[in-house]
Amino acid sequence: MRLRKASAIAASVLALSLAATACGGGDDEGGSGDGGGDTINVGIKYDQPGLGLKTPDGEFVGFDVDVATYIAGELGYEPDQINFVESPSGDRETMLDRGDVDFIVASYSITDERKEMVDFAGPYFVAHQDLLIRDGESVSNPEEIADLMLCSVGGSTSAANLSEQYPGAGLHELATYSECLTGLENGTVDALTTDDSILAGYAAQEQNVGKFALAGLNLSDEYYGVGVPKGETELRDDINAAITAMVDEGAWQESIDEHFGPANYAAEPAPEITETS
């Protein structure tokens, strides 16, 4: 059984209780798969265009969704056996700890602080922190950040980086990037800061074309990992193998081209997997 053994029973019970309400398909009558349960609960973001987005018709689309679906498939689950669970940045460690989800693929940057609470597989992607500003405005160098009112999501590495590196800058920490985008549009904040992959997804949305632009500042390197509960080394190793297979088979690059190509965002090649112990 490739699903984490210590909590397989708990995960199955949780899946049964959520089946009637959780989005993304799967029910207690689905095939068992190699994972030893009828469904698997996977944490994603619901509001990140290009990465993890829940559409008005209830579908889930984005690069992170594709990665999560591929991993689940390698663990023995069909797409209709996956329950996608919304995983806000500030709740991810808690959700893994209490068994709400089996793993998380949600622009989840690997950091030493987080590795004290959870384990990671990967990384499967590398992004860079940047600013999204109103089209026609500019931020030409990082020194200008101290004079701006910025917005990010509470619990994100972007918010933590900003507070540490630019303590003089104003910062609104909200629940979602969509809320920050509203503030940017109405002038409440000067810029939205997070990973350039997320910002490119917002800028490329049809309703946002011509409204926003990336500043082009590489403020940090963010290595996205797949979060798993602390100590679940077997699951971590299985996910690392799935990521490697996705890259080798070309499915990784196909997903990159599909979800980031329209934004003319040049993603870096798949990074080397480092989270092995």
**Structural domain range at position 24:** 5-125+223-263
To the nearest 10 degrees (0 to 180), the angle between helices 196-204 and 177-186 is 60
Domain tally, the chain: 2
The CATH number of the domain where 25 resides is what? Answer: 3.40.190.10
Reported confidence tier of residue 156, pLDDT bands at 50, 70, 90: confident
Same domain? 103 vs 114: yes
| Residues 163 and 138 both lie in one domain | yes
Query: Does 64 share its domain with 150?
Result: no
Task: Name residues whose C-beta falls within 8 Å of residue 275's C-beta, 6 or more positions apart in sequence.
Answer: 110, 119, 120, 121, 122, 123, 225, 236, 240
For residue 133, the one-letter residue type is I
Average pLDDT along the chain: 86
**What are the CA-CA distances from residue 264 to residues 65, 80, 130, 137, 201 (Å)?**
20, 32, 15, 20, 10
User: What would the pLDDT profile of 192-241 be if each residue is shown by its tens digit?
Assistant: 999 999 898 888 888 888 899 889 888 889 999 999 999 999 999 999 99
C-alpha–C-alpha distance, residues 262 and 205, integer Å: 9
Confidence band, pLDDT 50/70/90 cuts, at residue 16: very low
* Per-residue model confidence (pLDDT) at position 274: 97
Q: Are residues 144 and 250 in the same domain?
A: no
